[in-house]
Structure 1
Amino acid sequence: MNSSATVATALHVVCPHCHTTNRVQQAQMGQAPDCGQCKQPLFSGHSLALDDVALFERHIGRSQVPVLVDFWAPWCGPCRMMAPAFEQAAQQLEPHFRLAKVNTEAVPALGQRFQIRSIPTLALFVGGREVSRQPGALGAADIVRWARQHHTV
């Protein structure tokens, strides 16, 4: 096998702990890959809080794994009700998706930038761009179904 074939099957995955970009072979995605920098698991079955614009940019822009973002706020009842379902969905969707949460109260610039009009709102990012959006609270099965429907892996 030549090196160009190896490179073609590697994905960039941003570590949820130290935020370093890692190259992971597609064949190893389901084998609990660790970060080359901090040695922590790249996928933990939990969502990632992206309450910083720079971290949001890094994860959305550099990861080749689709990122499903829950735009929410702590005062929002439906957001709090959906939170456990979002965590359950993370367990089912990783490592094929990264699930992240953006607190629109902590980072209003992101809510404004993406014109979030109601919360909770799910937004799916692929290749650094938003490809689909779903407003309103969903259960875990609906989150998983919606994500897979809008991006086949």
Structure 2
Amino acid sequence: MPSKVTESSVVQCPNCGRRNRLPRTASGVPRCGDCHQSLPWIIEAGDDDFTEVAEAARIPVLVDFWAEWCGPCRMVTPALEQVAEELAGRIKLVKVNVDEAPGLSERFGVQTIPTLAVLKQGQVVGRQRGAAPASELREWVGDALAR
């Protein structure tokens, strides 16, 4: 499974194993340099770059509002990464640390963490509070994308 990706991080291709550098933003979706399969796109964003990283994304975005001290947040991370891998090329997972992005927390009305939101063209089309297994998250994301 991919690990958390920051501006200078790389992700290993789940198909062929090649390590690839991922952009924070792009006009398309990241693809493996060897096998050309879509890569899971997992990136962090905060108050200063959320508009560019998430709202301006050309593909739907799954936003994870979390905090390092939150047990349920840590529990749901592997499930979110699995969903990002399974839906590679169709969604972008953007992680927002609520302790470091109080403006986004207020703007999105985050009162409980983890809180998840699906954005299409910058608009919230789905919202969920609390942790859930990957199968439930995949179904929830699919329903939100169908709206």
TM class by shorter chain equals 0.7 to 0.9
Partner Cα distance (1:20, 1:49) in 2: 11
In the alignment, which of 119, 129, 138 is matched to residue 123 of structure 2?
129
3-state secondary structure, aligned to 1:58: helix
Q: What does the per-residue CA deviation read over 1:89-122, in whole Å, with 9 as the maximum and x for residues that have no partner?
A: 1101121111111000111111111110100011
Residue aligning to 1:56: 50
1:17-41 CA-to-partner distances (Å, cap 9, x unmatched) read: 443442x4xxxx6x9277xxxxxx9
Q: Percent identity?
A: 35
For residues 46 and 97 of structure 1, do their structure 2 counterparts lie closer, same or farther at Cα, with a shift above 3 Å needed? closer
TM-score w.r.t. length of structure 2: 0.74
The answer (yes or no) to whether the contact 1:49–1:101 under 8 Å persists in 2 is: yes
**Is residue 140 of structure 2 the alignment partner of residue 141 of structure 1?**
no
The ranges of structure 1 where at least 4 consecutive aligned residues each deviate by more than 6 angstroms after the TM superposition are: none
Give the number of aligned pairs.
Answer: 125
Instruction: Tell me what 1:105 maps to.
Output: 99
* Structure 2 match to 1:10: none
Match of 2:88 among 79, 86, 94: 94
Gaps of 5+ in 1: 1-15, 35-40
Matched, 1:45 2:50: no
Distance change (3 Å), C-alpha of 1:125 and 1:76: same
Q: Choose from 18, 24, 27 the match for 1:19.
A: 24
Instruction: Give the superposed CA RMSD.
Output: 2.6
TM-score by length of 1: 0.72
| Conserved? CA contact 2:65–2:116, under 8 Å | yes
Q: Secondary structure at the match of 1:53?
A: coil
Gaps of 5+ in 2: 1-20
Counterpart code for 2:40: G
Whole-Å separation in 2 of the counterparts to 1:74 and 1:42: 31
**C-alpha distance in 2, partners of 1:108/1:122?**
16
Q: Structure 2: which amino acid aligns with 1:32?
A: R
CA distance, structure 2, for counterparts of residue 44 and residue 132 of structure 1: 23
